[in-house]
Amino acid sequence: MVLVTGLVALYASYRWVIYGMAVFSLFGCALALGFGGIGILPAQLFLAFFALRAFNLAGGKRLADAFALDKPGFWLLCTCVWGIAGAIVLPRLLRGSTLVFPVDRSNPQVLLQPLGPVSGNLSQALYCVGDVVVYCSMYAFLKYRGVYRTLANAMFLLTFLDVLAGLVDIASHAAGIDVLTVVKTAQFADLTGEEMGGLVRISGTFSETSSFAGFTLPLFVFCLNLWLVGYRSRLAGALAVASGTLLLLSTSGTAYVGFAGYQAVLLFSRPGLIARVATVRRQRMWVFMGCAGVLGALYVVLFLPGVATALGDFVEVSILSKAGSSSGVERMTWNAQGVTNFLDTYGIGVGLGSIRTSSFLVLVLASLGVVGVVCYGMFVGKSLLLPVPTHYPFAERAICYAARQGMIAGLIVASTSASVFELGAGFYIFAAAAGALSPRMPGRAPARVPGRERWAASGGMNKINASSEIQ
């Protein structure tokens, strides 16, 4: 299916390859190809067509523009180069200097062992290269007129499919069947079908509820911010409500911690710089949420004391006692050992893919060391902190702003639960949209249709393209 879709996308409008990349990222627990113990997910396989389409359309120069010295992509490229070099050299150079919890397919049990080369060094280095390819390809697409709207539509479609998968998961659990097992063929531990406090732990197309929450929260935040600034507010608002409700019902501690963390970000964000209506909408949202929360709490305490007790027990199990559970103790041990690895290597790091942690921040620190932290921190900082240029149309500024917020949500979730460096194609698509708007007056390439592209490729449009390619 992925191969057929990719071949069709090569000859259709380049916009369809963006839809394909977004949709295939939903299947994070499906196996597209398998070679022994190595599995390739649909999004990873479709990336070949995504990158080839970007190269055919924009050429190598426009792809390389993503890594210019003044662009966030330069620091992502530096992170990738340092990560690959570290994955090859550091486990061998520092062999046995510290104990690690490795990422090793040949040893499924995560046990402490001396530092040395493992399969995770290769797989995580390849994933890192794939993330860079996603970023520069999407960056090249976004230089064409109207592609920001295409990106928003693709994310709307992805959110709808994600919500649909969550609803199917709930319905199939109630019916006693697992409908989504057909898209869970990768070699991951399957933790679907579990319950907590009488509620099904929603996992959608993923292997566990934590992965579902980590994937859904950035989509929820993206739609929420588009609703705030007034871009296709009805559709964005409906998808935000639907995805947010599923996150609240998911019983995932990752979802609840992510919600709390992003609320602090939302409190200090400034969507009013994009649209004045956003300030009023955000105030109304806070008032509505506050009133609804207080009235709901009073009603439950006064008239439904049994429900209040059940909710208290649920919060205790899902959040408060999580750190004391066997899973919580194991994950905290991973993080503590990651900090120890950073100190044992004097800030150099143990190499990308050498260790497993339960926090993206600890992972970057322990794997890539001080150099990796600086490079990746510069990438994130330049993507998020530079002002959104005001000379672009409203739609592009709104989607850029929402993508930045989605990127922040992805980092919040990853900082609480990510065990590997790879954050997924969605995160780097958001990152490309966050940093693709130039602070200078842009030269935007016009939208193309497939017939014109084929004519231009044959040389029939050379003279016209020379004068009209850049507006």
Instruction: Give the pLDDT score at 60.
Output: 85
Confidence band of 322 (pLDDT split at 50, 70, 90): low
Question: How far apart are alpha carbons 131 and 330 in whole angstroms?
Answer: 28
pLDDT at 209: 86
C-beta of residue 147 within 8 angstroms of C-beta of residue 18: yes
Could you tell me how many helices (H) and strands (E) the chain has, helices first? 17, 6
3-state secondary structure at position 99: strand
DSSP secondary structure string for all residues of 196-229 = ETTEE---TTSSSHHHHHHHHHHHHHHHHHHHHH
Q: Domain-by-domain residue ranges, the chain?
A: 2-279+333-440
Amino acid 454: pLDDT: 43
Q: With contact defined as beta carbons under 8 Å apart, do 73 and 67 qualify?
A: yes
Asked if 355 and 102 count as a contact pair (C-beta separation under 8 A), the reply is yes
Q: In this model, does residue 335 exceed pLDDT 90?
A: no
> Residue 388: how many CA atoms within 13 Å on its side-chain side?
23
CA distance 288 to 154: 30
The residue-averaged pLDDT of 324-331 equals 68
pLDDT beyond 60 at 446: no
- Amino acid at site 236: A
**How confident is the model over 226-240, as a mean pLDDT?**
93
Over residues 272-276, mean pLDDT = 87
Contact 130/48 with Cβ under 8 angstroms? no
What pLDDT, on the 0 to 100 scale, is given for residue 194? 67
pLDDT, mean of residues 301-311? 63
Identity of the highest mean pLDDT range in 296-300, 310-314, 404-408: 404-408
Residue 216 burial by CB count (10 A; 0-12/13-18/19+): exposed, middle or buried? buried
Q: Band of the pLDDT at 79, cuts 50, 70, 90?
A: very high
146 — alpha (psi -120 to 50), left (phi > 0) or beta?
left
